[in-house]
Amino acid sequence: MALRRFDLEAGGDTFSFKPETEPTIAFWLAKYPEDKKRSGVIPLLWLAQKDNAGWLSEPAMREVADRLEMPYIRVYEVATFYTMFRLQPVGKHHIQLCGTTPCMLRGANDLKEVCQSKIGDKMHVTDDGRLSWEEVECLGACVNAPMVQINDYYYEDLTPETLDDILAKLQNGAEVKPGTFVDRLNSAPEGGATSLLDAELFDGSRNQIASLPNLPTDAPAPEVEAAPAPKPAAKKTLIDATKAVAKAMPKAEEIEGDKPEMVEVAKGEEDDLKRIKGIGPVNERALNSLGIYKFAQIAAWTPANVDWIEGSMSFPGRVEREDWIAQAKQLAEGAETEFSKRVDAGEVESSKDEGDA
């Protein structure tokens, strides 16, 4: 384990908890008997770190030790052992970049290069005090690798471009919504759920116990009610996800930008928008609900139209980031893109229609 030392100079001589933190301290200490209150050392160090701009100065550790009536050395031991505690100043937005194997295999080294070029060496704080970074071990979000944690939140499924964009926004004082940066719900497959779609798995109809394992042979068999007739298999998950997207859409008057031209098309005449990288079944339905059915419509979007669409669908920056318009232009002209070839070949999930899903 790396040797971790305090930054004695940067920490000054004193530290006090913020008054608004006191109720939280009382909450944690109430969990332990008075003579065992030192058990609260980790939560109190965590709160001290939050009140000290994201890192633990030596006076902050002393304050925790005094409150818990612990020898200072015991608190120093805890703070220097756990890497969740930082012992030198960090930027307003501190990036913890996971470099462990799953993230490394999915491109974490490229993300490191972005941090290195945009911020500098590990634990360097940018001159404006906004950014710093470090490499950490697995943060438990491997399914959405590669990822980073920025302060308290996870940013997942990143590419060098998306991370570069996030850092630029944070440096300019903008906020960036955490979560995944591809078309998936949490850690579900990209483009929509592909398994566990049978509604009977969740409606309780399969919970009837027909026989108990190891039941003595002379014991009466338990009475069971006949299972209800199976309901038709549902495409419920996808539909529900689409409804959720529609419900989450902001009201028209709250959306900035210009509403693009809507069209009505006869059934079967709509384009397969899922051939555009970044548009899965859920987003396709959301676009259809906004009157967008054709590649040519997307190809003709102006920047103001893009603002309106991104505002309506609550995913700022995504149309540009995933280059929807350039893809749509090619597809509208009858050409193919690398992604559409993979969709047409059935190599990616978003090539499947709902019946396949």
Which amino acid, residue 290?
A: L
Maximal C-alpha separation, the chain: 80
Which lies closer to ligand FES via its Cβ, residue 139 or residue 282? 139
Smallest gap, in angstroms, from Cβ of residue 180 to ligand FES?
13
Give the C-alpha distances (Å, rounded to integers) separating 227 from 38, 206, 223, 235, 349. 55, 7, 12, 22, 34
User: Per-residue x/- marks for ligand FES, 134-173, CB under 6 A?
Assistant: ----xxxxx--x-x--------------------------
Spatial separation of the C-alpha atoms in residues 353 and 184, rounded to whole Å: 16
Per the listing, tokens 């929509």 go with: 192
Residue from 98, 148, 292, 348 that binds ligand FES (CB under 6 A)? 98
Task: Report whether 170 contacts 150 (CB < 8 A).
Answer: yes
Q: Does 287 bind ligand FES (CB under 6 A)?
A: no
* CA-atom Rg of the chain in angstroms: 27
Q: Does 100 bind ligand FES (CB under 6 A)?
A: yes
Smallest gap, in angstroms, from Cβ of residue 114 to ligand FES?
16
Number of residues that bind ligand FES (CB under 6 A): 11
Smallest gap, in angstroms, from Cβ of residue 317 to ligand FES?
23
Smallest gap, in angstroms, from Cβ of residue 100 to ligand FES?
4
Give the C-alpha distances (Å, rounded to integers) separating 231 from 199, 203, 204, 353. 8, 10, 12, 22
Spatial separation of the C-alpha atoms in residues 88 and 4, rounded to whole Å: 10
Residue from 102, 178, 257, 317 that binds ligand FES (CB under 6 A)? 102
* DSSP assignment of 282-310: HHHHHHHHTT---HHHHHT--HHHHHHHH
Smallest gap, in angstroms, from Cβ of residue 156 to ligand FES?
9
Residue from 65, 103, 282, 292 that binds ligand FES (CB under 6 A)? 103
Residues of this chain that interact with ligand FES (CB under 6 A) are 98, 100, 102-103, 138-142, 145, 147
